[in-house]
């Protein structure tokens, strides 16, 4: 199976052209439990180089990715000397790196955090600015008003939300429509084959079986994170003869007591993903990401992360794959055999 460059598509109703895959950078500059960086600055720059060499122009980050905003800083260093117009850069606001209030979506926090983000990225504007999660104490209309001001000031091109429930997304766009403000054009939910339906995880875990219907109604593009269920769908976790999970060294499961007791349904989905992988001559990783990329009637751009160039290149081979309707449906059916179980991991 030979490699091909990624293709480009129009991101929902924005008219903006993006690569069919988005590079996620939440591990850039992040600290491991031992205090070392999971992905160092040098490794981050190499991964960005490799992604751009494959044609990936879509980069996702947030002000809290990497300790003290290091993810944004590393991306900013990499962008230096490049044509900024070649790239679509997205970041987020919800957590605050400045001031005494560490979480919130008030006008004060939104306007302060955008300045920090732009400074770390070394750019005058963001292509997409996401609300990172729902915040009950912050009036939604105030948040959207502040974001609309940023659009009109040229500091943000398009607005997005992450971890919003269906009704929250609809409410946000109804407010924007009634006020003549810039709409929410992109949503970032957690979505993968074992979840089966999109989820919101901040502030609480909630299955959203109707979210994609709401997105179709409003022509909101979908950029799904965690397409591999935090590594489970790579196939690296196995079970011994007694049914106990074998957690490889360095995996999330080996570093977290709360991650590793996977529901039986997850193993059933993984078995189907691996069976399809054997049929098409690919890896479970590639099949799982290809499954996520297919959302009828919607722009669907999976967000993939990597801790090395080799891992990035291996995952990217998914763009060469074509799953038949029957193969895609088998994986879907495996995920819907039982009522949704409690998740084995939570967002932190």
CATH number at residue 193: 3.20.20.100
Taking CA atoms, 17 is separated from 31, 71, 86, in Å, by: 33, 23, 10
| Residue 117 near residue 88, CB atoms below 8 Å | no
In this structure, are strands 206-207 and 156-162 parallel, antiparallel, or unpaired?
unpaired
Q: Return the pLDDT at 88.
A: 98
Q: Is residue 322 part of a domain?
A: no
- Both structure tokens of 100: 């005494």
Domain of residue 152: give its range.
10-228+297-307
Q: Return the pLDDT at 55.
A: 97
How many CB atoms are closer than 10 A to CB 119? 13
From its phi and psi, is residue 261 left (phi > 0), alpha (psi between -120 and 50) or beta?
beta
191 is catalytic: no
Q: Return the pLDDT at 337.
A: 58
Q: Check residue 26 and report its DSSP letter.
A: T
Based on the number of CB atoms within 10 Å of its own CB, is 34 exposed (0-12), middle (13-18) or buried (19 or more)?
exposed
Sign of CA dihedral 131, 346, 71, 95: positive
- Number of domains observed in the structure of the chain: 1
Q: Is residue 291 part of a domain?
A: no
The closest of 58, 27, 55, 47 to 300, measured between CA atoms, is 58
Q: Return the pLDDT at 332.
A: 95
Adjacent-strand bridge partners of 37: 31
Q: Is residue 98 part of a domain?
A: yes
Q: Which of 65, 129, 130, 199 is catalytic?
A: 65
Taking CA atoms, 48 is separated from 95, 142, 257, 279, 313, in Å, by: 25, 35, 32, 32, 12
Q: Alpha-carbon distance 98 to 179, whole Å? A: 30
pLDDT one digit per residue (tens) for the chain, 348 residues? 344 579 999 999 999 999 999 999 999 999 988 889 999 999 999 999 999 999 999 999 999 999 999 999 999 999 999 999 999 999 999 999 999 999 999 999 999 999 999 999 999 999 999 999 999 999 999 999 999 999 999 999 999 999 999 999 999 999 999 999 999 999 999 999 999 999 998 767 899 999 999 999 999 999 999 999 999 999 999 988 777 777 766 555 555 665 667 889 999 999 999 999 999 999 999 999 999 999 999 999 999 999 999 999 999 999 999 999 999 999 999 988 554 444 544 433
Q: Is residue 334 part of a domain?
A: no
Q: Return the pLDDT at 248.
A: 67
Query: Locate tokens 């002000």: which residue?
Result: 63
Q: Alpha-carbon distance 51 to 136, whole Å? A: 37
Residues 6+ apart with CB under 8 A from 45: 74, 77, 78
Q: Return the pLDDT at 253.
A: 54
Q: Is residue 338 part of a domain?
A: no
Q: Return the pLDDT at 3.
A: 47
Q: Is residue 263 part of a domain?
A: no
Q: Is residue 253 part of a domain?
A: no
Q: Is residue 53 part of a domain?
A: yes
pTM of the model: 0.92
């Amino acid at each position: 199976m030979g490699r091909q460059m990624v293709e480009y598509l129009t991101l929902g109703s924005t008219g903006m052209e993006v690569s069919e895959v988005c590079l996620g950078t939440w591990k850039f500059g992040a600290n491991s439990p031992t205090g070392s960086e999971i992905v160092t600055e040098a490794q981050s720059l190499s991964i960005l180089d490799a992604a751009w060499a494959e044609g990936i122009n879509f980069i996702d980050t947030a002000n809290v990715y990497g300790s003290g905003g290091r993810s944004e800083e590393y991306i900013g260093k990499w962008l230096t000397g490049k044509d900024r117009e070649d790239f679509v850069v997205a970041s987020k606001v919800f957590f605050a790196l400045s001031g005494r209030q560490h979480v919130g979506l008030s006008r004060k926090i939104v306007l302060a955090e955008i300045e920090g983000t732009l400074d770390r990225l070394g750019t005058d504007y963001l292509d997409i600015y996401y609300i990172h999660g729902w915040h009950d104490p912050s009036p939604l209309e105030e948040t959207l008003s502040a974001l609309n001001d940023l659009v009109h000031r040229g500091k943000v091109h398009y607005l997005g939300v992450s971890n919003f429930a269906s009704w929250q997304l609809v409410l946000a766009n109804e407010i924007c429509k009634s006020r003549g403000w810039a709409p929410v054009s992109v949503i970032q939910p957690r979505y993968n084959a074992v979840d089966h339906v999109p989820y919101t995880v901040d502030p609480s875990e909630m299955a959203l079986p109707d979210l994609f219907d709401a997105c179709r109604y409003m022509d909101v593009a979908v950029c799904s994170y965690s397409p591999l269920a935090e590594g489970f769908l790579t196939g690296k976790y196995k079970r011994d003869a007694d049914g106990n999970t074998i957690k490889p060294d360095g995996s999330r499961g080996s570093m977290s007591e709360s991650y590793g007791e996977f529901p039986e349904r997850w193993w059933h989905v993984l078995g189907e993903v691996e069976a399809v992988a054997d049929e098409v001559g690919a890896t479970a990783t590639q099949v799982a990401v290809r499954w996520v990329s297919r959302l009828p009637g919607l722009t669907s751009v999976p967000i993939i992360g990597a801790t090395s160039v080799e891992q990035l290149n291996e995952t990217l081979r998914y763009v060469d794959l074509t799953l038949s309707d029957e193969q895609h449906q088998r994986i879907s059916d495996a995920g819907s055999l039982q009522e949704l179980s409690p998740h084995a991991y939570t967002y932190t």
